[in-house]
Amino acid sequence: MLKRYTQFIKEADETTEIKDTTKSEISDSSKYTEIKEELKSMIEKTIEKSGGEYKSFIDSFTKNPDDVKIEGLINDSDIYDFYLKWRNDIDEILNNSNFFDEVPSELNSFGLYDYMIKGTQRAIEETVKSMS
């Protein structure tokens, strides 16, 4: 089923325009602006609560996303809610970063819920990296 989904996304990309699907698309300022605004707001709330500055938080998060947590994206249920809200953008980001080509067992993901959480976390990491 994952192959069919990625094939669907690739076909959708080809019909809109022929483009290079690289990570640089995420950093395109006109793309994913709403999800970036949401993450920026969450990061600013985290900084207000625990101190620091925006740039150093982004650097820390990109270096070690497992240890640095964003307020509102700490629990799996929070990440699941974030996915439900931004699923179209997240799926596109994951497709562009070739996440769907990876085997779930290599990600230590042995259930659909866990796979979705890990995918959403990866999309968040990719998006935050593009914000630096």
> What token pair was written down for 108?
């230590």
For position 1, what pLDDT does the model report?
47
State how far the Cα of 124 lies from the Cα of 103, in Å rounded to an integer.
19
- Domain layout of the chain by residue ranges: 2-130
For Cα atoms 22, 25, 31, give the angle at the middle one, nearest 5 degrees: 155
The predicted model gives 53-77 an average pLDDT of 92
For position 50, what pLDDT does the model report?
86
Mean pLDDT of the chain: 84
